[in-house]
């Protein structure tokens, strides 16, 4: 699984250091070449010799240690690493990296590496929840560092709360999952368009018509497609979700804006997945000033928006794969099959949004994946990230036939 991968463990001074010894052992058993760099403070909890015996490699602590294998050791370690895991990541090291400080061996290696860096915060609850710490963590996210959220439970300081370093098996599984995704480049060379979230149609400068879509499903699909090597264009309606890595994000508000950007990219795309909740209607005349309250009843005239999905179905080539979504509250399969045929789709993902765990603004979904050849796959309650994998697996399976 991790055979031949160079994993650098960056170990900081927290009581949870003892768990990282087990992480080193598990990584090595999976075939990884494990290298360890420690802060001076970390050596107060576990000796470098322990990590040296477990990893089978020299442990680096100081910039001024005797040279073992490389001439400029911090640069060599930074270049050697395929992946870096900082664990436990203290508030101190998080603050250093977020602010560009490199004043010891560990922070210098982190600043010099181009490898993906995973950060596993572990500290007292109050320290973790301190606005300064949270700001620094968010800064790392913006720089595409991978944050492994801490667990909750009994902490060394005697309180119960968030701040525990996740168990070694969780840390190792996180790394394995990432490496597996990087190894799976099944969509390399393919261009994928994903639409996500809900659109807004203005009534006046203050009000608008919209829907309950959060965008979580579409963002999960875009993230998964990018991890498989695809060139992904994500055309997104309104959402607070952070943009996925390695994805071209185009933010829009209205249905017509979404249509414009999707059609600009459609001609040379291989797969289009329309998971956005697009407004069916818009206001015929948008008021230039805020409409003031007057009568008990206010009438707004609506006109139909363009059917983006139907338009794509009419122009798609035999080599393009088009996927729609059907969010229903009754007769789910019947309505979805009708939409599949009317709009010339290759596949449709249908769900009953009235079911618990399958509606809007949740992390889970329940769905039926229906393809144009009549096959139906049942997707029971699962995380939207898992459903994204199943959707893309099905697309690849059908396209490769």
- Which among 85, 20, 86, 93 has a CA at the least distance from the CA of 55? 20
Q: Are 306 and 272 in contact (CB under 8 A)?
A: no
What tokens appear for 108 in the block?
Answer: 């210098």
| DSSP assigned state of 252 | -
Q: What are the pLDDT tens digits along the chain (401 aa)?
A: 788 899 999 999 999 999 999 999 999 999 999 999 999 999 999 999 999 999 999 999 987 666 555 444 557 788 889 999 999 999 999 999 999 999 999 999 999 999 999 999 999 898 999 999 999 999 998 888 999 999 888 777 677 788 889 999 999 999 998 898 787 789 999 999 999 999 999 999 999 999 999 999 999 999 999 989 999 999 999 999 988 888 999 999 999 999 999 999 999 999 999 999 999 999 999 999 998 887 778 889 999 999 999 999 999 999 999 999 999 999 999 999 999 999 999 999 999 988 888 878 888 999 999 999 999 999 999 989 999 999 999 999 999 87
| DSSP assigned state of 305 | P
pLDDT at 302: 96
What tokens appear for 293 in the block?
Answer: 């309250």
pTM: 0.68
103 is in an annotated binding site: no
- Which among 327, 321, 284 has a CA at the least distance from the CA of 302? 284
SS (H, E, C) 344-373: CCCEEEEEECCCCCCCCCCCEEEEEEEECC
pLDDT at 15: 92
- Which among 151, 82, 92, 91 has a CA at the least distance from the CA of 118? 82
Q: Sketch out the chain's domains with CATH numbers.
A: 6-183 (3.40.50.1950), 191-399 (3.40.50.10300)
Q: Give SS3 for 137.
A: helix
140 is in an annotated binding site: no
C-alpha angle 92-97-100 in degrees, rounded to nearest 5: 120
Strands 376-383, 364-371: pairing is antiparallel
Q: Give SS3 for 380.
A: strand
Report d(CA 235, CA 138) in Å as an integer.
Answer: 24
Q: Which residues contact 245 (CB under 8 A, 6 or more apart)?
A: 144, 223, 226
Instruction: List active site positions.
Output: 157
pLDDT at 70: 45
pLDDT at 293: 84
204 is in an annotated binding site: no
270 is in an annotated binding site: no
339 is in an annotated binding site: yes
401 is in an annotated binding site: no
pLDDT at 203: 95
Strands 201-202, 208-209: pairing is antiparallel
Q: Which residues contact 87 (CB under 8 A, 6 or more apart)?
A: 9, 10, 11, 12, 16, 19, 20, 23, 118, 120, 122, 148, 165, 171
Strands 231-236, 146-147: pairing is unpaired
pLDDT at 73: 53
Report d(CA 299, CA 313) in Å as an integer.
Answer: 34
> Any idea how long the chain is?
401
pLDDT at 118: 97
Alpha helices, H only, 146-289: 168-183, 216-227, 255-266
SS (H, E, C) 323-341: EEEEEECCCHHHHHHHHHH
């Amino acid at each position: 699984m991790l055979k031949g991968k160079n994993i650098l463990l960056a170990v900081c001074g927290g009581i949870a250091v003892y768990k990282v010894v087990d992480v080193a052992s598990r990584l090595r058993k999976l075939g990884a070449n494990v290298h360890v760099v420690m802060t001076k403070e970390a050596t107060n909890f576990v000796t470098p010799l322990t990590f040296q015996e477990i990893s089978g490699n020299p442990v680096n602590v100081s910039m001024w240690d005797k040279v073992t294998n490389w001439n400029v050791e911090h640069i060599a370690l930074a270049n050697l690493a395929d992946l870096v895991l900082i664990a436990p990541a203290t508030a101190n090291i998080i603050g250093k990296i977020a602010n560009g400080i490199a004043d010891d061996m560990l922070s210098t290696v982190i600043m010099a590496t181009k490898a993906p860096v995973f950060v596993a915060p572990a500290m007292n609850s109050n320290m973790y929840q301190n606005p300064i710490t949270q700001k620094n963590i968010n800064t790392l996210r913006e720089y595409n560092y991978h944050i492994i959220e801490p667990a909750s439970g009994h902490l060394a300081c005697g309180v119960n709360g968030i701040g525990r370093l996740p168990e070694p098996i969780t840390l190792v599984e996180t790394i394995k999952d990432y490496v597996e995704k990087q190894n799976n480049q099944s969509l390399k060379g393919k261009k994928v368009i994903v639409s996500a979230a809900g659109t807004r149609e203005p009534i006046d400068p203050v009000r608008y018509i919209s829907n309950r879509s959060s965008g979580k499903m579409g963002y999960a699909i875009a993230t998964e497609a990018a991890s498989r090597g695809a060139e992904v264009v994500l055309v997104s309606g309104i959402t607070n979700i952070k943009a996925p890595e390695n994805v071209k994000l185009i933010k829009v508000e209205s249905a017509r804006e979404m249509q414009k950007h999707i059609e600009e990219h459609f001609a040379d795309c291989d797969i289009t997945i329309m998971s956005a909740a697009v407004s069916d209607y818009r206001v015929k005349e948008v008021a230039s000033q805020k409409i003031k309250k007057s009568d008990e009843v206010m009438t707004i005239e609506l006109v139909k928006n363009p059917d983006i999905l139907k338009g794509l179905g009419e122009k798609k080539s035999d080599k393009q794969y088009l996927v729609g979504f059907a969010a229903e509250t009754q007769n789910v399969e019947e309505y979805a099959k009708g939409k599949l045929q009317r709009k010339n789709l290759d596949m449709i993902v249908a769900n009953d949004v009235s079911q618990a765990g399958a509606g809007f603004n949740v992390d889970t979904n329940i769905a039926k994946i229906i393809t144009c050849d009549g096959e139906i796959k049942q997707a029971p309650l699962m995380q939207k990230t898992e459903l994204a994998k199943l959707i893309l697996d099905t697309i690849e399976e059908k396209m490769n036939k």
